[in-house]
Amino acid sequence: MTPSHPSGTRAASRARSKISIFAIAVSAVVLAFAVACGMPSPPARHALLYGISIYDVGYPEGTYINLTYTDDDASAMASALSAKGWTVKLGLADTQVAADSQDATRAAIEADIAELAGTDGLVLFYYSGHGTRDAYTGTSYILPYGSIATAADRISADELRAMFEAAGLSHVIAILDSCYSGGFVQAGVTVDGVPDIFGANDPGGDIAYTAFIDALGDALEAYVSYGADSRYVFISAAGSEELSWESSSSGHGIFTSAALNAFDDSSADSDNDGYVSTAELYAYCVKAIVASWNSYKEDDLDYYSDGQYADFYPHLSGVAREYALWEAP
Amino acid sequence: MNLYITRVILKYEPMRNLALAFASALACVISSWAAPAASLYAHAAIEPGVSEEILYSALPFVSGSASIGAGLGPFAMEIGAMYQGPSAYSDEWYRYRGFVALFAALGPRIRYDRVTAFADIGLALARYDASYSYFILPYFEPGALIAASRLDERSALYLRASVPLRFGADSWTAGLRLGVEFDYGIAARGGESK
């Protein structure tokens, strides 16, 4: 005769069975989700890249109002993106600006964006050149070739977004390596902890929230006052009141130099999913700028600005989406 | 919501003070030893779900969370932390960003035999991966607890299933949150805990 189990043992056995069945069900559901997470084949990817080093053809690069490496920035980004499968269109205003039919003017940029109308794939807009900010309205602008002489040819954030909207583009990434470019970046439903003028010695100070919970009030305000901001993803080299810099040691803008390194550095894919996303690129550039520039420049007074120091910090839009840019090396 | 109140009370007061106030309230509940059917609980769960931004596609994600809470009579409140991983990629190669969040919730719990139904309302303060972008996610979470094992006089294990619905200002998520809850009764009650 088989002895009966004590009731406690039977209860424990039933409990174990319940928990096991529950655990199996949970695992099955998670596995099903994991299977659904495979990477789709690449969509159509178009990149428009503009680099303006020459604003006044009467002067060589790096003198008067002309920049030195911004044309090289756009060219290098175009090569790197092309190697990763992007279809690229490059507009330069460099020493050959007259011969190149001024393909980095506002009109050229507008026409290039309009040409992409109907594209349902991914569009990347890259700009390296001067930027400016209207101190009265707080509006930031990028300055295509010709726009220093003709202010109406500057492009504001609203105007750039309107160009994308007019072309019916839904999936746009804009990367701007220019001064005051943070004015193009909308926090959306979020509150951005990176101040507009970043720096230990600057008015904005360091990252705004030292404790996670300190962001609660501002985040609540952002939630209740949210008014359907732009759906495009913008990455700016600097804040809306900051300068962005270029360096002879890299031969590029500080931000763009970091971005170019991300193409060949597997650590840019921080979540190890095999792809570098917009947020990962942003984080990679931040890390590089903090290490290679800000750590040396936070005490350097910037004589071009109104008492700011030369450190700066990139900004990223607060939209919920991020885009895969390229396969990690 | 009154924006003035939001600005004055929630923006300019250090937020950690509010967190302390909430923790104090939780401690008050915990310290109510004489109250009937008071309990403490700890909960860990994983949550497969879908997220969707307005005008874009719904995409699957998986998140994990842990919380501690206290029940007092027919009500419970909890605080916890969660991490929601990035979603799967869409055909256009976008996905929804992952984030880490702290949350607090409050709601009724109604027990019927071995099943306890609950419906929490909560608020999560989240920060996206890789940036300093903070945002708010209010949520509603109906669910149920099923008694799985009574460990001793005071403690028991429950299986917990719920359907959290999170309402971002520009997106929403819905998930199936599945987990285990350890419950410790701190006041005498008849029959099984909860």
Q: Report residues of chain A scoring pLDDT below 50.
A: 1-6
- Determine which of B5, B12, B62, B92 to mutate to test the interface with A (most A C-beta atoms within 10 Å): B92
Which SS3 state, helix, strand or coil, does residue B138 take? Answer: strand
Predicted local confidence at residue A307, as pLDDT = 76
Please provide the average confidence, as pLDDT, over all residues in chain A.
Answer: 89
Residues in chain A within 8 Å Cβ distance of B150: 11
With CB atoms and an 8 Å threshold, state whether B130 touches A270: yes
- Residue A212 φ/ψ, nearest 5 degrees: -50, -45
Per-residue pLDDT at B162: 97
Q: Mutate which of A165, A212, A233 to disrupt the B interface (most B C-beta within 10 Å)?
A: A212
- Is a pLDDT exceeding 70 seen at residue B164? yes
Counting residues of chain A whose pLDDT is more than 90, the rounded percentage is: 69
Is the pLDDT confidence value at B187 over 80?
no
Please, are residues A282 and A235 in contact by the beta-carbon 8 Å criterion?
A: yes
Q: Quick one: tokens of A129?
A: 């050149």
B155 has a pLDDT exceeding 60: yes
* Cα separation, A74 vs A256, whole angstroms: 9
A271 interaction partners in chain B (CB closer than 8 Å): 86, 98, 129
Which residues have C-beta within 8 Å of that of residue B188, sequence separation ≥ 6?
none
Pairing assessment for the beta strands A155-156 and A252-253 based on DSSP bridges: unpaired
* A40: region left, alpha or beta (phi > 0 left; psi from -120 to 50 alpha): beta
Give strand pairing partners of B70. B40, B77
Q: What pLDDT was estimated at residue A310?
A: 85
For chain A, strand residue ranges (E) read 45-52, 87-93, 122-128, 131-133, 140-142, 155-156, 172-177, 191-192, 233-236, 246-247, 252-253, 275-277, 315-316, 321-327
Reported ipTM = 0.90
For the sheet containing B94-96, what is the strand order? A275-277, A321-327, B94-96
A18, A213, A234, A236, best to mutate vs chain B, most B CBs in 10 Å: A213
Token pair of A105 as six digits: 């003017």
> Whole-angstrom Cα distance, residue A254 to residue A286?
10
- In this complex, the residue of B1, B16, B97 whose CB is nearest that of residue A214 is B16
Alpha carbon distance A218, A265 (integer Å)? 36
State the burial class of residue B42 (Cβ atoms within 10 Å of its Cβ: 0-12, 13-18, 19+): middle
Output the pLDDT for position A55.
92
Decide: A69 and A53 in contact? Cβ < 8 Å: yes
**Residue A110 three-state SS:** helix
Q: How far apart are CA A9 and CA A3, in angstroms?
A: 13
In the block, residue with structure tokens 């998140």: B63
Which chain A residues are Cβ-neighbours of B182 within 8 angstroms?
none
CB contact under 8 A, B125 and A39: no
Q: Provide the pLDDT confidence category of residue B72 given band limits of 50, 70 and 90.
A: confident
Buried/exposed A230-248: b ≥16 CB within 10 Å, e otherwise: bbbbbbbbbbbbbbbbbee
pLDDT of B3 reads 45
pLDDT bucket at B5, cuts 50 / 70 / 90:
very low
pLDDT in tens, A44-75: 999 999 999 999 888 889 999 999 999 999 99
Q: State residue B24's pLDDT score.
A: 65
Start-end of H helices in chain B: 3-5, 15-30
CB contact under 8 A, B133 and A11: no
Give CA–CA dist A27/A38, Å, rounded. Answer: 18
Query: What angle is formed at CA A53 by the lines to CA A308 and CA A131, rounded to 5 degrees?
Result: 40
Per-residue DSSP letters for A222-289?
Answer: HHHT------SEEEESS-TT----EETTTTEEHHHHHHHHHTS-GGG-TT-SSEEEHHHHHHHHHHHH
Neighbour tally for B21: CB within 10 Å? 11
Report d(CA A131, CA A70) in Å as an integer: 12
- For A128-172, the pLDDT digits (tens) are 999 999 999 999 999 999 998 899 999 999 999 999 999 999 999
Task: Report DSSP state, residue A28.
Answer: H
Closest chain A residue to B11 measured between Cα atoms? Answer: A217
